[in-house]
């Protein structure tokens, strides 16, 4: 019997290992089975989350990977609204196909349950007319009533839609796996430190600093351009990205009020130009050369 145990035990160990690996592969490690959130009786899995996120262009995709909770909340909201639409039997417009079907269903639900029920009182129109008469000019109340009614209806529609969706979400049973959500969160994009800023300013080279933030979409759109310029001018200039929320003192010191703000410094550390907002590569390179990076 002891002889049999010599080969039985290793075989059992191997079988246990295979079964364990199979479980991990097909269940625990399988994104299709990894549940991020439950909305009533329906799941949002890691695989679903990745598929939806992959449809979004850069840099939005990268930002949401760094803060997946925000995008997951959008998916949860959509699921809650779609569940209500299914419950009420709301259909898409007959001509709609493909990815626009869900959007059509949700739009029809909100139209039926919210927008079609909005009423605009003549007194509201008269009050808005009175408040904005200077901007309206010489036009009479009768002339601008249709325009004002539409504007009031649009504002009310937005408010009522938000209230309706919030009520649906409050009524739904929503459970989010915070631990799993954290596990799929990407590391934030790297930015430069205050020490690196000071070193660059004393490097004897022209410096371009992008004062921005990882959560700022125009800032993120600039990053690939700045990476290219950094490689092309590696020996002639220093290119930095400073997060204004991490280094508020640097932002104040350089009078940054809006982001992104690109500030060009010459070889002595003197500011020679600044630009607020996104900018094309050719213009940035041109100003960098003017700052001395020839």
Mention every residue, 6+ apart, whose C-beta is less than 8 A from residue 98.
none
What gap in Å lies between CA 197 and CA 214, rounded to an integer? Answer: 17
What gap in Å lies between CA 107 and CA 256, rounded to an integer? Answer: 41
Active-site residue numbers? 216, 219
Cβ burial, residue 36 (10 Å; 0-12/13-18/19+): buried
CB 43 within 8 A of CB 177: no
CB 237 within 8 A of CB 288: yes
What gap in Å lies between CA 121 and CA 92, rounded to an integer? Answer: 31
Helices (H), the chain: 2-23, 46-54, 60-66, 68-88, 100-113, 122-131, 133-136, 141-171, 178-183, 194-201, 217-232, 248-253, 281-290
């Amino acid at each position: 019997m002891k002889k049999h145990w010599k080969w039985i035990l290793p075989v059992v160990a191997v079988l246990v290992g295979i079964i364990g690996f199979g479980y991990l592969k097909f269940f625990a490690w399988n994104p299709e089975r990894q549940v991020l959130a439950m909305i009533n009786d329906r799941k949002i899995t890691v695989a679903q989350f990745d598929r939806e996120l992959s449809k979004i262009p850069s840099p939005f995709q990268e930002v949401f990977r760094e803060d997946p909770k925000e995008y997951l909340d959008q998916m949860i909201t959509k699921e809650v609204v779609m569940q209500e639409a299914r419950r009420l039997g709301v259909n898409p417009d007959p001509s709609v196909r493909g990815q626009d079907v869900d959007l059509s269903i949700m739009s029809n639900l909100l139209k039926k349950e919210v927008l079609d029920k909005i009423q605009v009182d003549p007194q509201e129109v008269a009050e808005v007319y009175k408040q904005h008469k200077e901007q309206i000019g010489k036009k009479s109340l009768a002339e601008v009533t249709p325009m004002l009614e539409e504007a009031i209806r649009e504002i009310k529609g937005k408010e009522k839609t938000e209230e309706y969706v919030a009520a649906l979400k409050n009524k739904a049973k929503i459970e989010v796996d915070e631990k799993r959500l954290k596990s799929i969160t990407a590391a934030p994009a790297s930015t430069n430190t205050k020490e690196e800023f000071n070193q660059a300013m004393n490097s004897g080279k022209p410096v371009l600093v992008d004062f921005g933030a990882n959560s700022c979409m125009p800032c993120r759109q600039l990053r690939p351009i700045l990476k290219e310029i950094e490689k092309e001018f590696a020996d002639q200039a220093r290119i930095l990205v400073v997060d204004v929320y991490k280094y508020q003192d640097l932002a104040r010191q350089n009078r940054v009020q809006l982001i992104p703000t690109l500030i060009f410094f010459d070889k002595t550390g003197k500011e020679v130009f600044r630009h607020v907002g996104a900018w094309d590569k050719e213009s940035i390179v041109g100003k960098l050369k003017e700052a001395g990076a020839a």
